[in-house]
Amino acid sequence: MIGLDSLIPFVGLFVLFILLGFYGKYWRRGDLNQVHEWSLAGRKLGTTLVFFLIGADLYTAYTFVAIPSGMFAKGSLYFFAIPYVMLTFAVALVTMPRLWSLSREKGYITASDFVKDRFNSLALAIMIAITGIVAELPYIALQIVGMQSVLTVMLAGSSNAQTVGEISLLIAFVILAAFTYTSGLRGAALTAIFKDILIWITVIAVIVVVPISVGGFGNAFKEIKPNYVTLSDSLVPAYATLVLGSALALYLYPHAVNGVLSAQSAQKLRASTGLLPLYGIGLAIMALMGVLVYAVPSAMNFLSGFPESSRGILVVPSLILYSMPGWFSGIALLGIFVGGLVPAAIMAMAQANLLTRNIIKEIKPNLTPSSEIRITKISSTVFKFVALGFVFTVPATYAISLQLLGGILIAQILPSVFFGMYVKSLRKEPLIAGLIIGISLGIYMVESANNFGPLSSSLINTTFGSLYIAVIALAINLVISFGGSAILNRKHLEDLPK
């Protein structure tokens, strides 16, 4: 168990985090009884705030433990995360300013709002809303898994460690729910800045101190297998499709759209997006921690006390604890811990917007603005605790498995959202068919790839090598969407009076 020199800065900074969250209610005052004020901060966030908010949105507690975990367990394949985040920002620069402009003009708050208006299809909009809600839930659960990894390392060796850890998570989520309900996205934006400062301090300190203490990266790489350093030819298709599929999918997640639409202008959104590759540098450094840990015997000895299947998720917290001074460990571990709370808040808000605006409000169109914001706030709270309950009741591996499936599902809304903004010839009927078939095939392929057992891989073997299932399902979806639209448009032209 950690000492007081680590615990005091951890608790002290967490109190500051809480105060910032509640202060959000008074920061840049707006009517928080309006949905766009509560969930999008009134669309008033400038370049710097959007940079930190989307950074907190996309670089989460799980991101900062999962990628090093993959490097620790499997090696170079997991370095796909670095080019993927660089490519995804190029995708964002092409698509997100356009979505922002349309949303500001038409009053959209979700991607489903756009789809409903663009294609005049309630069915398609509801399907996309449901897909977003389902794909987001395990994403929140995985933030909790990342937070659990911090508590596991902090409480190791203490009596009743699991019970204390679960109570700590419950308290943290009660506080999160309270300040999110009160402050909305304003509270999330302020805490995002706080979280990102802690993460950057941690990344810079660890990448300087640890290599020096172990005699350089050369010594660390001597401790690992060759496949951790170089990518074999057989894994190139898997690597390439993971990069492509992940890059295309990231900004389709509801929480990413939520962050984008909070920007004050399209120009400021472009500027903040142009700065986001800086986080890719931080992620590359974090990925290398999955290698550096092999050169820190005390950390490796600590990890050996856990089952092999759960060691990876503990790599970064244990490396920090066993290579940095106690006071700094408290700061760094708190950075990772709140790195789960901030995105969980934004994700739950995005889910709540989809549920209220695109499902409940369609069933009950006479819903008053006051009822809409009340239901949105309550459902945001419910989604947080559903994810927390899920993590408490099932093994972490199942949450990770569902996230693999979530990434495949969310990619299937790409034709309606991204291409829907630019291609006028798309028709709603083929888009609905493509979405249903893409999701169905994606689920079948991921189950087949895992022999209809617990999910551990999102890759499937083909004649071209192992490929990311999301890319295959999306390719079929695109063929149906564009092919079906072309056929319907041609038929329409033929039916016109000569």
Please write the tens of the pLDDT for every residue from 346-403. Answer: 999 999 999 999 999 999 888 888 899 999 999 999 998 888 887 777 666 566 666 7
Cα(245)–Cα(78) distance, integer angstroms = 14
Residue 111's pLDDT is: 95
Which SS3 state, helix, strand or coil, does residue 412 take? Answer: coil
The secondary structure element, H or E, covering residue 156 is none
Tokens of 1: 């168990």
* H helix runs in 293-394, sequence order: 297-303, 308-311, 315-323, 326-355, 361-363, 369-393
* Three-state DSSP class for residue 2: coil
Q: How many Å apart are CA 390 and CA 141, to the nearest integer?
A: 7
Domain spans of the chain, in order of start: 4-423
φ, ψ of residue 154 in degrees (nearest 5): -65, -35
Count CB neighbours of 470 within 10 A: 29
pLDDT of residue 356: 94
Strand 459-462 to strand 465-468: parallel, antiparallel, or no bridges (unpaired)? antiparallel
| Residue 205 to residue 320: CA distance in whole angstroms | 10
Contact 314, 289 (CB under 8 A): no
Which pLDDT score, from 0 to 100, does residue 480 have? 97
Rounded CA separation 280/253 (Å): 19
Distance CA 135, CA 130 (A): 8
DSSP 458-469: -EEEETTEEEEH
Q: What is the pLDDT of residue 157?
A: 73
Opening angle at CA 14, ends 379 and 381, nearest 5 = 5
DSSP codes, 181-205: HHHTHHHHHHHHHHHHHHHHHHHHH
- Taking the C-alpha atoms of residue 480 and residue 433, their distance in angstroms, rounded to an integer, is 7
pLDDT at 497: 57
* DSSP 8-state code for residue 215: T
* Cα separations in angstroms, 240 against 233, 279, 468, 476: 11, 21, 9, 18
Instruction: Give CA–CA dist 445/473, Å, rounded.
Output: 9
What was the pLDDT predicted at 486? 93
Per-residue pLDDT, 492 = 66
Residue range 4-423, CATH number: 1.20.1730.10
pLDDT value at residue 149:
86
How far apart, in whole angstroms, are the C-alpha atoms of residue 308 and residue 480? 43
With a cut of 50, list the residues of the chain below it in pLDDT: none
Structure tokens at 29: 């005052």
- Cα–Cα distances in Å, from 14 out to 194, 264, 455, 471? 10, 29, 35, 40
